[in-house]
Amino acid sequence: MITCIVIDDDKNTTKVFADILELMGLEIVGQGYSGDDAVSLYQSYHPDIAFIDIVMPQKNGFYALEKIRECDPNAKVVAVTADFTLETQQKLEGMKISAIIYKPFNQNEIKRVLLEKYNIKVV
């Protein structure tokens, strides 16, 4: 089973995203609400995929991605963001982000990313 962590400073968004992934047959091993949570959960569980919000107070998704890459350069990290700016997109690409899912997300977009980026077919 594919394991995942879901990180977003909005607890409702975290829950909804995690619920969608579970309905698709993925296992959620951790949920968090900050960049620090993302790093800690990644180090604890080494999930197959980390879904991380980029814009968060204090330690953001860029921080989390940088720290996760330090401990696992090949980590599969998907940015989940409402930030459509070219600057953010370029920064993420420079940090070797695996994929970007833009908010508001939907089940079809998540399925498309899983299939196109990781060759993972979900229900």
Rounded to the nearest 10 degrees, the angle between the axes of helix 61-71 and helix 35-45 is 30
Q: What is the mean pLDDT of residues 51-60?
A: 95
Find, among 20, 23, 26, 9, the residue nearest to 76 by Cα: 26
Q: How many CB atoms neighbour CB 51 within 10 A?
A: 28
**What is the reported pLDDT for 16?**
97
pTM of the model: 0.96
- E strand or H helix that includes residue 7: strand 3-7
Domain map of the chain by residue range? 3-118
**What is the reported pLDDT for 31?**
98
What tens digit of pLDDT does each residue of 95-104 get?
999 899 999 9
pLDDT over 90 at 61, yes or no? yes
Q: What is the mean pLDDT of residues 53-62?
A: 95
- pLDDT exceeding 70 applies to what percent of the chain? 100
**Token pair for 91:** 């920064």
- The CATH class for the domain spanning 3-118 reads alpha beta
**What is the reported pLDDT for 123?**
82
**Token pair for 116:** 């196109």
User: Taking CA 77 as the corner, what is the angle to CA 62 and CA 95, rounded to the nearest 5 degrees?
Assistant: 45
Q: What is the mean pLDDT of residues 24-48?
A: 98
**What is the reported pLDDT for 92?**
94
Max alpha carbon distance in the chain (Å)? 36
Q: What is the mean pLDDT of residues 36-62?
A: 97
pLDDT over 90 at 49, yes or no? yes
Q: How far is CA 43 from CA 8, 29, 47, 67, 106, in A?
A: 17, 12, 9, 10, 28
